[in-house]
Structure 1
Amino acid sequence: MILAGRRSALRRPGLPGVLVEAAFGVLLAAGVALETAAVLSRRPAWPVGAVFLLVTAAVCGAALLRRRFPGRAAAVAIGLCAVAELVDWRHGRQGQPAPIACLALLVVVASAVRHLPGPGGVAVAAGSGVVAAGTIERYATYLAQDIPNATTATKVAVAGWAVAVAVGLWRRLGDARRRALVDGIRRTERLALARDLHDVAAHHLTGLIIQAQVAQLATDADPPTTRATLTGIETAGAQALASLRQVVRLLRDDEPEIAPVPGSLAELVERFDGTGIRANLHLPDGPVPADWPSETTVGIYRIVQESLTNVARHARDARTVTVTLAHDGRTIRLRVADDGQPGRVIRPAGHGLVGMRERTAALGGELSAGPGTPAGWTVEATIPAPGGS
């Protein structure tokens, strides 16, 4: 089990993204060079030409920084393009903002609409819409004066803004779906870890409590019993610590899950004898197959572990508990039944029964729990066998 890592919406691009950004930078540099040649060919007054060139270069620079500073890049690009429009309107027939600046602005707008919070994205879309409207007004003026390419430029200005905003919204929705998927996976893994912690802690701590109670009842006149009980407490404590460490290792991305081996079920039942209730393991179809996947063996192990914990906690008058695991090529049948008195059977009210049902459902099976016949409490789980048809 590997926990889903937290990732920022503005994560660093991988190699393909770096290559795309490099190609985009080359395109912007070429566009700035062409615009410089075009401005020099028109020979405007030097302050006007200098403003146009600086605006174009700054807008292109903002486009290259859009991933790192989406809000600031959008504000700079929109403001500078608006300045270029005002200068063009004042001096006329300058064709500003430059085509490469318009392209850079549209890329910045799409990125900002994707990444910024709701109000910021709306502000960028509205501000860039105003700039687009001003650009359309300039091109419409040129169209009326029969300036070449004015019709094409007007269509590009109209469609470009709409496409930029639409692409930003589409990518934003895609990011939201991915975040929802990651959050769902993370929540599922947290629940799985919570079940593991509950099962491990409840099982071992219940055993420790019962053995401590036995030690309190032992007298100085019976030191062998006291020593045996204290040894059992020490062993159970070491096992609890080892199990908790195993669960904690699941929280590390670089540690694989260590699943109980098939023989662990027999060891679990054998250890339960230390609680004072006789435990028996019945395998009518033989041992657990070694080729069962770890999720199946872990699920069965945890269901038995929680069932035995509930017996120790809620069926103090029980004398025996029997774990039966039958399996064929299609179905696994697990049954845990004790012989507690009918009038003293208490249905567990904690998270253990819920966790057992969740584990069984995760394996595609069903679980039932309730008073047994003629006495005690019975837990039964039916799970499809791995590879069964």
Structure 2
Amino acid sequence: MGYAMTFAGPRRAVTVGTLVDAAFAVLLTVGFTLEVAVVSSRHPAWPVGAAFVLCTAAVCGAALLRRRYPARAAVAAIVLCAVAELIDWRTDQQGQPAPIACLALLVVVASTVRFLSPAGAVAVAVGSGVVAVGTVERYATYLARDIPNARTATLVMVVGWLVAVTVGLWRRFGDSRRRVTIDRVRRAERLALARDLHDVAAHHLTGLIIQAQVAQLDGAADPAATRAALTGIETAGAGALASLRQVVRLLRDDEPVVTPGSAALAELVDRFPLPGARARLDLPDGPVPAGWPPEVHVGIYRIVQEALSNVARHARDARTVTVTLAHDGRTVRLRVVDDGHPGVSGGRPGHGLLGMRERATGLGGELSAGPGTPNGWTVEVRIPTPVVS
């Protein structure tokens, strides 16, 4: 469900934007048609009438192109409305720029104040403000002559300009906050991936070191064992390189996130890098539900990976390791148990344990770790059961 919303959102936004632009285009067409009729009814000299009609048409066209060419649309709308004002001032044609041109200008102002650079937004606000003042002056003259049409146009320019600039600035502020939020989330994701990179490298490099030590011990006495150890080192090295590449790819915006599931968890346990030991995965409640959120899948996978790496580093005499993952309607219980003895440090503390606890806490759960009875080591994680969507 989450991914469907992610991909459907942009398409829905594009559809709504297209519908809004189409409705706006219809409105401009109707307004322009009425303006042509009004200009024709006044019977101005044809160059003046043609100039008014062309200015109105061009301003409406600029408004329709405001998304694709915001700066050019703003300049064109402001200049053309100013030209219409000057022509009206010289010819006293009563009503220029046209109301529909004023509306188109205000839409352009709201849009470009939102998207242009700070300097460009200020220039658009000031330039359109000058045009608004000039238009109000023109219509104030017509108001004094008691021309009904002038009152509506004056209100459009006085209130409309304030609304257009305010809306543009408000949406600009909202875009800025949204970018800050996205950047914060991305930084958090990259920090988490950096921890993943540590886990992946530690897990695979531990296996390589152990197999290299085995090859050194058995090399002189058993060439076949040496070849087998070198083959294992090659396989483990290739797996380490692939895992590191996968984590690095996740740091790039254009790469998809691969969510580990039951199959990946089983493969991880099967690749446990401790010669002579046997690791097994126990799923008493069945496979991991595919509908769990990706962070839960990845968190469980990384905790198991680090726990197995700790066994390989600190309990090399272990012979069995059991990974149990149980889940019901309330709790997910992960348990990693081995039968080895702690290393010379007498315990298993370190960055790995801190990382596992951090992951468990991040999932809303808790982690406990300590020596087993009579020997071995136990790592246990309990987190709330994720809601399957």
Short-chain TM bin: 0.7 to 0.9
**Cα distance, 1:121 vs. partner?**
1.6
Change (3 A) 1:280 1:54: closer
Q: Which stretch of the first structure deviates more once superposed, 112-121 or 246-255?
A: 246-255
CA–CA distance in structure 2, aligned partners of residues 364 and 39 of structure 1: 70
Instruction: Provide the aligned length of Structure 1 versus Structure 2.
Output: 377
Aligned mates of 1:65, 1:46 — CA distance in 2: 28
Shift of 1:153: 2.5
* In structure 2, distance between residues paired with 1:222 and 1:70: 76
Residue pair 2:55, 2:80 contacting (<8 A) in 1 also: yes
Asked whether the 8 Å contact 1:262–1:288 carries over to 2, the reply is no
**Segment drifting more, 222-231 vs 65-74:** 222-231
Would the aligned equivalents of 2:32 and 2:57 in 1 still touch at CA under 8 Å?
yes
- Corresponding letter in the other structure for 1:381: V
Secondary structure in 1 matching 2:96: coil
Aligned match of 1:231: 231
Report if the CA contact (8 A) 1:292-1:386 is conserved: no
2:258 counterpart residue number: 257
The one-letter code matched in structure 1 to 2:335 is: L
The two structures, once aligned, show a CA RMSD in angstroms of 4.0
User: 1:68, 1:106 → 2: CA distance?
Assistant: 17
Q: Tell me what 1:40 maps to.
A: 40
CA distance in 1, matches of 2:206, 2:216: 16
Q: Could you say which structure has the greater relative contact order, defined with CA pairs below 8 angstroms and 6 or more residues apart?
A: 1
> Relative to 1, partners in 2 of residues 1:287 and 1:228: Cα closer, same or farther, differing over 3 Å?
farther
Residue pair 2:95, 2:150 contacting (<8 A) in 1 also: no
C-alpha deviation, 1:346, in angstroms: 7.0
Does the Cα contact within 8 Å between 2:106 and 2:160 map onto a contact in 1?
Answer: yes
Structure 1: runs of 5 or more not aligned: none
**Secondary structure at the residue paired with 1:325?**
strand
8 Å contact from structure 1 (residues 341, 375) kept in 2: no
1:347 deviates by: 4.0
Deviation, structure 1 residue 39: 2.3
Note closer, same or farther for the CA distance 1:100–1:268 as it changes in structure 2 (3 Å cut). Answer: closer
Task: Tell me what 2:161 maps to.
Answer: 161
CA contact (8 A) 1:307 1:336 kept: no
Map 1:374-385 to 2 at 5 A: 379-385=379-385
Query: Of 335, 342, 348, which residue of structure 1 is paired with 2:350?
Result: 348
Cα distance change of structure 1 residues 354 and 114 upon mapping to structure 2, 3 Å threshold = farther
Q: Name 2:335's counterpart in structure 1.
A: 334
Please list the CA deviations of residues 32-89 of structure 1 after superposition, one character each: whole Å capped at 9, or x if unmatched: 3332332233233444333322221221111111001111111111122122222222
Sequence identity percentage: 62
State how far apart, in whole Å, the 1-side matches of 2:264 and 2:48 are.
84
CA deviations on 1:128-171 (whole Å, 9 max, x unpaired) are: 12211111111212112222233333222211112212222333
Residue equivalent to 1:289: 286
Question: 1:361 maps to which residue?
Answer: 361
Superposed CA offset, 1:203-222 (max 9, x none): 12321122123223433332
Using the alignment, how far apart are the partners of 2:285 and 2:202 within structure 1?
A: 25
Residue equivalent to 2:50 = 50
* 2:74 paired with 1:77: no
**Aligned residue type for 1:69:** Y
Question: After the TM superposition, which residues 179-218 of structure 1 pair with which residues of structure 2 at under 5 Å, given as runs?
Answer: 179-187=179-187, 189-191=189-191, 193-218=193-218
1:24 aligned to 2:24? yes
Task: Return the alpha-carbon distance in structure 2 between the equivalents of residues 340 and 70 of structure 1.
Answer: 67
Question: In structure 1, how many angstroms separate the alpha carbons of the residues matched to 2:263 and 2:219?
Answer: 40
Partners of 1:318 and 1:341 within 8 A in 2: no
Does the Cα contact within 8 Å between 1:347 and 1:370 map onto a contact in 2?
A: no
Matched residues in 1 for 2:88 and 2:327: separation? 83
Decide which moves more: 370-379 or 21-30: 370-379
Indicate whether 1:147 and 2:147 are aligned: yes
For residues 186 and 279 of structure 1, the distance between their equivalents in structure 2, rounded to whole angstroms, comes to 39
Structure-2 change in CA distance of 1:73 and 1:269 (3 Å): closer
Is 1:108 aligned to 2:105, yes or no?
no
